[in-house]
Amino acid sequence: MHATTKLKNSPAVFIQKVFQDGLYHILPRSVSRYICADVMSKHSICFSNVPGPQQPLAVAGKEVVAVEVVYPNVLPQVCLFSYNGRISGNFVVDSLVPKPQIIADLFAEEVLRLAMVVGVDPAEFILP
């Protein structure tokens, strides 16, 4: 069983939900902030992959070519979104991170390597 499946099926998710929906609101603000800071300090990046529609959609009569997902976070984040047989992605990092483009370039390099390993032609997923 994959680690993420184990986590999703463990009591940790339920316990987190109870804390999030109930206890944080009744705890003193200083305690809530401490818990939040403590939890977030144990993470180095937020990775999100969102499966989107796999057929073309239109907005105002124009076909949507790609979708980008970005949301505010206190951690660096990678967001991937699949749409119409393609995947688009964004990296968000703090302005204090020196040369953030290096992270994106190395990630893209690894995705290309992975594509070659599994026999996928990169031309199939890179937009012109």
List alpha helices for the chain, DSSP H: 3-8, 11-18, 24-26, 29-41, 101-117
125 confidence band (pLDDT: 50, 70, 90)? low
Please give the share of the chain, as a percent, with pLDDT higher than 90.
Answer: 11
Residue 1 pLDDT: 54
pLDDT(85) > 80: yes
Please give the share of the chain, as a percent, with pLDDT higher than 70.
Answer: 95
Phi, psi of 80 (to 5 degrees): -115, 140
56 confidence band (pLDDT: 50, 70, 90)? very high
Do 91 and 81 touch, CB atoms closer than 8 A? no
Instruction: Express each pLDDT in 59-78 by its tens digit.
Output: 999 999 888 887 777 788 88
Interatomic CA distance for residues 61 and 112, integer angstroms: 34
Phi, psi of 106 (to 5 degrees): -65, -40
Q: What is the mean pLDDT of residues 123-127?
A: 66
Residue 36 pLDDT: 78
